[in-house]
Copies of this chain bind each other. A is one copy, B any other.
Amino acid sequence: MAVLGLGLIGGSLLLRLAADQASSPGSPGSIGYDADPETRAAVAQRLGPSAVAPDLAAAVDGADLVVLAVPLPAVPIVVAALRDVGYRGLLTDVTSVKEPVRAIVTAELPDARWVGGHPMAGKEASGFDVADPELLAGCAWALCLDNGTALADWLDVARWVLGLGGRVTPLTAIEHDAAVARISHLPHLVAAALTTGAAAEPVGPAALGLAAGSFRDATRVAATRAALTAAMCGGNAAALITELDSLVERLEEARELLTTTDPVSALTGWLETARAIRHEWPPHGAETRTPLTRHDLLALGRAGGWLTELHADAATAVLPKSVHPPT
Contact = CB atoms under 8 A, between A and B. Distances in A.
A244 B248 CA distance: 10
A325 B263 CA distance: 31
A149 interface: no
Contact of A267 (B199, B229, B306): B229
A233 B191 contact: no
Query: Would you call the interface of chain A mostly helix, strand, loop, or mixed?
Result: helix
B268 A227 contact: yes
Given A195-B274, A211-B120, A235 B264 contact: yes
A255 to B, nearest CB: 5
Interface residues of A, number: 113
Interface stretch (A5-13, A45-53, A214-222, A289-297): A214-222
A230 B183 contact: no
Nearest to A243: B197
Given A140-B210, A210-B142, A278-B195, A241 B226 contact: no
16 contacts: A140-B209, A142-B210, A175-B206, A176-B210, A183-B211, A187-B217, A190-B190, A190-B251, A197-B246, A205-B302, A205-B323, A206-B303, A218-B218, A219-B274, A230-B263, A248-B251
Question: Closest 9 CB pairs between A and B?
Answer: A205-B304, A234-B264, A209-B304, A192-B274, A234-B263, A120-B212, A226-B271, A187-B218, A230-B267
